[in-house]
Homo-oligomer: A and B are copies of this chain.
């Protein structure tokens, strides 16, 4: 994927400022909303079963994030997800910590059984868990184990019948046929809670303006990663990084994207 294509998708997000409806965990609501605002999207958080169907149907994308589940939230995710499906609003799922407890694994299965999702984003352990493959996990942030991640993305996509995004040092996007690798990013992202959750919501914003999930995800990953690279240059640690990262997301220029975007086919050829 050429850098210009990444930039064009970002411009579309900024122009449309899509409403991104997040049903997400209580840890990351603030950072997710601020990240989406910095990007140029319009975040909304709504959880009550009384209103999620109404909110999802007017949204550009729906984000389901299981970071701090309970039964009320699962129920609301089902209602919102079905409403989104009925109104052709793309849905993206973040299976935070799937595998850490049976409840998380089961909840993801229930959601995937009832809601058609356009994409799933997680680390390798989470994606392996929800697609029934073997991988290790500790808590919700781990999963940096070895393994053929490209293969995992392909097989998980085929099993789950959706676009799969595995993020880590390198990011992998697959629709079950092709794999795209994104090489942008910085290690400080792993020291900011909810950086992955925000990334899922950013992919949601791109899905709202770009029908092709692989293209939307690759562009979002590159934008997010470049913002992190630029922020890391100015940061003294995870605290200042967080502020610089939001600044960078907001200020990202065409020139920066043209210079730094690195999105490649799995085989090594350009997309």
Q: Are B248 and A38 in contact (CB under 8 A)?
A: no
Assembly CA distance A248 to B236 (angstroms): 9
- 0 or 1 for each of A26-52: is its CB under 8 Å from B? (1 = yes): 111111011001100011111111110
Please tell me if the beta carbons of B48 and A69 are within 8 angstroms of each other in the complex.
Answer: yes
Which one of B19, B38, B51, B248 contacts A191 once the chains associate, using CB atoms below 8 Å?
Answer: B38
Q: Mark A225-244, 1 if CB is under 8 A from B, else 0.
A: 00000000001111110111
CB distance from A197 to the nearest CB of B (A): 11
Instruction: Say yes or no: A27 contacts B29, CB within 8 Å.
Output: yes
Min CB distance A29 to B, Å, is 4
Q: Are A246 and B251 in contact (CB under 8 A)?
A: no
Are B239 and A247 in touch, CB under 8 angstroms? yes
A–B Cβ pairs within 8 angstroms, 22 of them: A25-B45, A26-B29, A29-B68, A33-B194, A34-B191, A34-B193, A34-B239, A34-B242, A37-B141, A38-B191, A42-B139, A46-B68, A47-B70, A48-B69, A48-B71, A50-B71, A51-B101, A237-B251, A239-B243, A239-B244, A239-B246, A239-B250
